[in-house]
Structure 1
Amino acid sequence: MAIKQLLKRTSGWLYLNSPVGRHQLHGAGVILMLHRVLANDRAADLPHRNELCVGPKAFEHLLTWLKKNFDCVPLMEILQPGAIRTGRPKIALTFDDGWRDNALNAFPLLKKHQVPASIFLSTDYIGSRQRFWWESLGETLWRSHGEKARAHLIECLQRLGLPLPVLLDDLDVQRRSLALLHFLQTLKTLPPGELSRLTDQCPDESLPQALDWHQVRALEASGLIRFGPHGASHSILTGLDDQRLDEELSRSRNALLNGCNRPLPVYCYPNGNHDERVREHVADHDFPFALGTVAGIYRGISDPLALPRIGISQRTARNPELLSWRIYRGARP
């Protein structure tokens, strides 16, 4: 695996610094997808956090690398017609969900390096103590809230016919964390109401998980950050009937109109899930653009309601040459 990673990093570096790579990326735009920046890198290294979280050192390393190789621009500079023309390839940072650590840990580094970003809010969570199920269930099962809380949640899961994998009691931290990651991924198929009830069985945390509207307005006032909707309740849009889908789209859109001065005309699909019906409803709610999660680069000819993004994990932030490899894969004809 180490040799494979080394080959990818080397190939990525060569691609970005070769005439062929520079030609393919000329006038292109890359949209990155992040979620959280934790307070320390060791916490972000664990597999069950690695995909959604980066640590501050890794994030700063990534920002430094990005500024060296790209023009870091606001999202709309990539999406607006005629924006992608000449010069170095452009890259834009997006954050999903609206985690509180976007303000506490990510923004100071974005400000230090003067890198703009867009944050897509699951608006029901903003300014409330409502919790994201992945974080609450995952950290409770990881014993972050103690053994008693973990045992209670395990009982609730067993009553639903969802016993934990044996490896979740493995003595090896990495194997245990990887088993938790895989288990959490299986829970994505549960109905939103079931996930909410399970989350209610987890201990309350001292701070809300999400931003509040005061933080949103303060970040927007900085001039570096703009906001868009990422659903209201973070429900998977493809699983909603037409009425609930329209309610979800309207509620998130109205929350942004009331809470921000310049909300983005861009929708961000929760979990990246969308189909033709969802895209039609998003367009009917006056969104000319929408972000998915399929990897690729943007040349202005993609479906504007299914825009590609490249995800950033802790592993990628530590080794940005792996990002250049993914850009190379996405840039191929």
Structure 2
Amino acid sequence: MGIMQLFKQTSGWLYLNSSVGRNQLHGAGVILMLHRVLPDDDAADLPHRNELCIGTQAFDHFLGWLSRHFDCVPLMDILQPTQSPTKRPRVSLTFDDGWRDNALHAFPVLLKHQVPASIFLSSDFIGSRQRFWWESLGETLWGSHGEEARIHLIESLQQAGRPLPAQLHDANEQRRSLALLRFLQSLKTLPPQALSRLTDECPAESMPQALDWQQVRELENSGLVRFGPHGASHAILTGLDDRTLAEEIRRSRDALHNGCQRPLPVYCYPNGDNDARVRQQVADHDFPFALGTAAGIYRGHPDPLALPRFGVSQRVARNPQLLSWRICRGARA
């Protein structure tokens, strides 16, 4: 463990257990952003998976830590509180995209700890075999689907003007994974149509990546999970023209109203990207709240259509004091 990480962990622990920290967080809310929960903690440790994936054991450890230090509450209890604040700060879990492993691996752990959560669905993917480009390209390039599929995708990327960096051939697994993470981040600048074409060049997985509507209903019926929209196609909203933007928001809103009993009055921006035009469109479609990805705690935010969240990675789930360090910094801002 590095000196800086040890310093952050120690400082975070001291903050949560001090009168200063408790006073600063009194009445505050912390919204957490997660994506996937994998059965294999070692797989989640790799850099290209670490930011979006958490292993089941790490998730179990993380929820136990949260329950000791926070009141774990539904998202709307933070956004529209009906009770006086307790002595402990409140925390709410949100999951982006609607991955199938939210039902298979995350939900049993949520149930074990009785921790509520909100899942924000990219509605075009729910109940379909449509795939998320990040996962399909990343795992194909990692070699998870065989060398032939990897070589074919590399050739397609070259034709698209995105040749593979030399670091992605590094023999060291950690360096190769980190290079893949950076390469995938660089692909975010490609148009959605190009990313879709590249995804089509990847082999079809044996299991759909996203939840289906039956799983959505089963999770909702548990009383622990509620759902909200995260776009329809997961397109970056700031890059859409006005007509397409309105259609994207409307389609995702209507899908949730048709597929869920009590959809959340909260929109979640794909990739967190939003601007004044996007926020106005979200408001025009009757959403009083929307979630971004900027870090910070919630105390009745000045812009309810750009609410802060703290991202939770595998690294943070294994070492939750790193989260308390970030909360400490956010509380003092």
Alignment of 1:211-222 (within 5 A): 211-222=211-222
Report if aligned partners of 1:9, 1:319 keep a CA contact under 8 Å in 2. Answer: yes
1:63 match? 63
- For the 8 Å contact 1:238–1:275, the answer to whether it is kept is yes
Gaps of 5+ in 2: none
Equivalent position amino acid for 2:2 in 1: A
The Cα of 1:86 is off from its aligned counterpart by: 3.3
1:11 paired residue number: 11
Q: Report if aligned partners of 1:32, 1:92 keep a CA contact under 8 Å in 2.
A: yes
Structure 1, unmatched stretches of 5+, are none
The TM-score normalised by the length of structure 1 is 0.99
1:288-327 aligned at under 5 Å gives the runs 288-327=288-327
1: CA distance, partners of 2:184 / 2:326: 25
User: What's the Cα RMSD here?
Assistant: 0.9
> Residues 158-173 of structure 1: matches in 2 within 5 Å?
158-173=158-173
Aligned residues: 333
The code of the aligned residue for 2:325 comes to W
Shift of 1:39: 1.1
Sequence identity percentage? 76
Report the secondary structure of 1:228's partner residue.
Answer: strand
Q: Distance in 1 between matches of 2:287 and 2:84?
A: 20
CA distance in 1, matches of 2:33, 2:220: 19
* Pairs within 5 Å for 1:75-86: 75-81=75-81, 85-86=85-86
Shift of 1:82: 5.3
For the residues of structure 1 that align with 2:238 and 2:83, how far apart are their CA atoms? Answer: 31
Superposition deviation, residue 84 in structure 1: 6.2
**What TM-score, normalized to structure 2?**
0.99
> Which aligned runs of 4 or more in structure 1 are off by greater than 6 angstroms?
none
Could you say which residue in structure 2 is the equivalent of 1:201? 201
Alignment-mate amino acid for residue 330 of structure 1: G
Q: Is the 8 A contact 1:137 1:202 kept in 2?
A: yes
- CA positional deviation for 1:177: 0.1
Shift of 1:263: 0.2
Instruction: Give CA-to-partner distance per residue, 1:140-169, whole Å, 9 cap, x none.
Output: 000000000000000000011111111111
Q: How does 1:1-333 map to 2 (within 5 A)?
A: 2-81=2-81, 85-333=85-333
User: C-alpha displacement at 1:81, in angstroms?
Assistant: 4.9
Alignment deviations for residues 257-289 of structure 1 (CA, whole Å, 9 cap, x no partner): 000000000000000000000000000000000
Distance in 2 separating the partners of 1:155 and 1:319: 39
Distance 2:161 2:230 in 1: 31
- Say which SS state the counterpart of residue 189 (structure 2) adopts: coil
SS in 2 for 1:188: helix
Query: Which secondary structure does the structure 1 equivalent of 2:227 belong to?
Result: strand
Deviation at 1:119, TM superposition (A): 0.0
Q: Give the Å deviation of 1:87.
A: 2.3
The 8 Å contact of residues 30 and 298 in structure 1, kept in 2 or not, is answered as yes
Residues 221-250 of structure 1 show CA distances to partners (whole Å, capped at 9, x for unaligned) of: 000000000000000000001100000000
Judge conservation of contact 2:73–2:91 (CA < 8 Å) in 1.
yes
